[in-house]
Amino acid sequence: MSAVLGSLIAVLGTLLGSFSTYLFQQRTAVRAEAVAREERLRQERLAAYSEFAAAVTELKRAVVAVWLQQSDPAELNHVLSEADRLGALAETARFRLRLVSGQPEPLADAAFAHMDALRGAVDQAELKLREAEFEAAVSAFITAAAGHLVVSRRAAP
């Protein structure tokens, strides 16, 4: 009888050990999946922030080219077309940023809004001033974006 009891205890111990191992592995897998999901989202955000900053900077370059070519009608149509194309790309990048971040991005909107100020510059000195303001707005956006990315990384389980 004691042999049967010993065997029964051994079988129960093995089953208990197997079940607890299963539970620990399950928890580890769920945790690893959550970390991977959070990292994918962080990478998406990083790509969206970078894409927007690049697109709005290219748009600024095109808007300045339009401003500089105002006196050359032959070249003006070409640079206007390029500015329009880049404006659409920047707007698309801004929409993607909003979708990925899941919240309004007022600093991105502020950087984008500087295009009107650039277009309206009355002389080269004002154009330089507006460019500096634009660069400060983009810098503020990037600083805030970096902060969002660091916070999301720390928040991962």
Indicate the pLDDT class of residue 66, thresholds 50, 70 and 90.
very high
Indicate the pLDDT class of residue 3, thresholds 50, 70 and 90.
confident
Residue 138 CA to residue 120 CA, distance in Å, equals 19
Indicate the pLDDT class of residue 46, thresholds 50, 70 and 90.
very high
3-class SS of residue 36: helix
The reported pLDDT for the residue numbered 152 is 55
Indicate the pLDDT class of residue 1, thresholds 50, 70 and 90.
confident
Q: Which of 129, 100, 94, 98 is nearest to 112 (CA)?
A: 94
Residue 125 CA to residue 121 CA, distance in Å, equals 8
Cα–Cα distances in Å, from 137 out to 13, 107, 114, 132?
65, 7, 8, 9
What domains appear along the chain, each with residue ranges and CATH number? Answer: 41-155 (1.20.1440)
